[in-house]
Amino acid sequence: MQCIINRRATFSASHRYWFSELTEQENKEKFGASSRFPGHGHNYVLFVSLIGELDRYGMVENLSTVKRVIKQEVTSQLNYFHLNDTWPEFQQILPTTEHIAKAIWDRLSPHLPLVKIRLFEHPELWADYQGNSMEATLSLKTHFSAAHRLALPELTLEQNSEIYGKCARVNGHGHNYHLEVAVTGEIDARTGMIVDLGSLQKVIDDYVVEPFDHTFLNKDIPYFAEVVPTAENIAFHIAQLLQQPIRELGVELEKVTLIESPNNSCEINCRHLDLSALLSVQQEPALVGAC
Rounded distance between C-alpha atoms, residue 103 and residue 117, angstroms: 10
The answer to whether residues 44 and 81 touch, using CB atoms and an 8 Å cutoff, is: no
In order, the DSSP letters of 126-180 are EEEE-S-TTEEEEEEEEEEEEEE----TTS-HHHHHHHHGGGG-TT-EEEEEEEE
- Phi, psi at residue 201, to the nearest 5°? -60, -40
Rounded distance between C-alpha atoms, residue 47 and residue 36, angstroms: 29
Known catalytic residues are: 167, 214, 260
Q: What's the CA angle centered on 10, arms 123 and 177, to 5 degrees?
A: 15
Instruction: Please enumerate in sequence order all residues whose Cβ is within 8 A of that of 25, keeping only pairs 6 or more positions apart, or say none.
Output: none
Instruction: Please enumerate in sequence order all residues whose Cβ is within 8 A of that of 75, keeping only pairs 6 or more positions apart, or say none.
Output: 9, 10, 11, 46
Rounded distance between C-alpha atoms, residue 264 and residue 244, angstroms: 27
If one counts every other C-beta atom within 10 angstroms of the C-beta of residue 95, the result is 25
Strand partners, 265: 259
Rounded distance between C-alpha atoms, residue 182 and residue 243, angstroms: 11
